[in-house]
Amino acid sequence: MYLVLDFGNTLTKFFLFKGKEVIDSASLLPKDAFNKIHEILTLNEGIKGLIYSDVTGEINEKLVDLAKEIPVIAINSSIKLPFVNEYESKSTLGADRIALVAAAVIAYPKKNTLVIDLGSCITYDFVSQENTYKGGAISPGFKMRYKALNTFTGKLPLLSVKIPENPEGNSTIDSIHSGVYFGVLDEIIGRIKYYQEEFGPLTVILTGGDANKLPKTLKNTIFAHSNFLALGMLHLLKLNIDS
């Protein structure tokens, strides 16, 4: 068995794998996370290793203390990766982006692949058919765009995400929804077109909490299953404890 932990800004997600099958998983509030991790490690003596992604930078010592004799791997650019990393500022490359690229190269080997992760931010990560990570882009996600319109103007209200029927907003509220939604959609379509023109045939993977807001008919895209990130982390764990 293997334990995969994703420490996000608001929730901690865990996945307990037996082989490639998830046998237990949950999303937890930070205050409940370590009690649950301790319970998992106590009740499952066959865990061979633990890997984690952390946005806070404060988790390592706590996990090492809990895990005791179990190998603990923190995802960063210095661990063994299943791709060549050409990112110039390697130390700043986010653990979630590393894990998503790892998942992509395992699921779609020897293909030009663009991973688009729609969360608080929208990240774009491209790996070539030569198995080389070229980098990508970071832009504001849906909620961040709504918040920016409210924060940096005097009168625009703060709205919740809504998918408009068409781009023609006939009120201020409808215009905000149109601007945010179709701005994101047009950005994604434009980014896909760029990589297709630059590199040729392209596999596009959409993932993240807001991926379901995009139309399922979006051309040439694959909507990743909910465990896509976790499977990338699992592969990184095996790669680093078995090598």
For residue 17, what are the β-bridge partners?
Answer: 2, 22
Beta-strand runs (E) in 43-120: 49-54, 72-74, 84-85, 113-118
182, 169 contact by CB (below 8 A) = no
Distance from C-alpha of 2 to C-alpha of 15, rounded to nearest angstrom: 8
Q: Is 174 a catalytic residue?
A: no
HSE at residue 141, side-chain half, CA atoms within 13 A, is 18
Place of tokens 């179709």: 182
Residue type, 216: K
Catalytic-labelled residue, pool 96, 117, 125, 210: 96
The residues annotated as belonging to the active site are 96
